[in-house]
Homo-oligomer: A and B are copies of this chain.
Amino acid sequence: VKAVVVGGGSWGTAFARVLADGGHRVTLACRDAEQARAIERTGWNPRYVTGVDVSDVSASPIDAAPLGEADVVAVAVPSRAFAEVVAALPGTSPLLILTKGLDPGTGEMLSTLIDRRPVAVLSGPHIAVEVGARRPTAAVVASTDWDLAVSLQRAINSRFFRVYVKPDVRGVELCGAAKNVIALAAGALDGLALGDNAKATLVTRGLAEMSWLGEACGARRETFAGLAGMGDLIVTCSSPHGRNRQAGELIARGTPAREVAATIGMVVEGLPTAPLLRDLAHRLGVRVPITEAVCRVLEGESRVEAEIEGLMAREPAPEFPWDVDALEPNPPETAP
Contact = CB atoms under 8 A, between A and B. Distances in A.
A195 interface: yes
Given A159-B313, A308-B136, A225 B207 contact: yes
A83 interface: no
Contacts of A198: 130, 135-137
A166 interface: yes
A279 B21 CA distance: 39
A140 interface: yes
A159 B309 contact: yes
A201 B322 contact: no
Is the interface on chain A under 10, 10 to 19, 20 to 34, or 35 or more residues?
Answer: 35 or more
Nearest to A133: B195
Nearest to A241: B196
A64 interface: no
Contacts of A140: 319
A203 B231 contact: yes
Given A138-B201, A319-B227, A162 B332 contact: no
Interface in A196-246: 196-201, 203-205, 207-208, 211, 220, 222, 224-227, 230-232, 234-235, 238-239, 241
A323 to B, nearest CB: 4
Contacts of A234: 199-200, 203-204, 234
A327 to B, nearest CB: 6
Contacts of A332: 150, 165
A196 B239 contact: yes
A208 B226 contact: yes
A125 interface: yes
Nearest to A309: B159
Contacts of A203: 230-231, 234
Interface in A119-158: 124-127, 130-131, 133, 135-138, 140, 146, 150, 153-154, 157
25 contacts: A126-B197, A130-B196, A131-B197, A133-B195, A135-B198, A136-B198, A137-B201, A138-B201, A150-B332, A157-B316, A162-B201, A162-B312, A164-B317, A164-B319, A165-B317, A165-B323, A165-B332, A166-B320, A199-B235, A200-B230, A200-B234, A203-B234, A205-B227, A226-B319, A227-B319
Given A136-B312, A165-B317, 8 more contacts: A125-B200, A127-B196, A130-B195, A154-B316, A159-B313, A162-B316, A196-B241, A200-B231
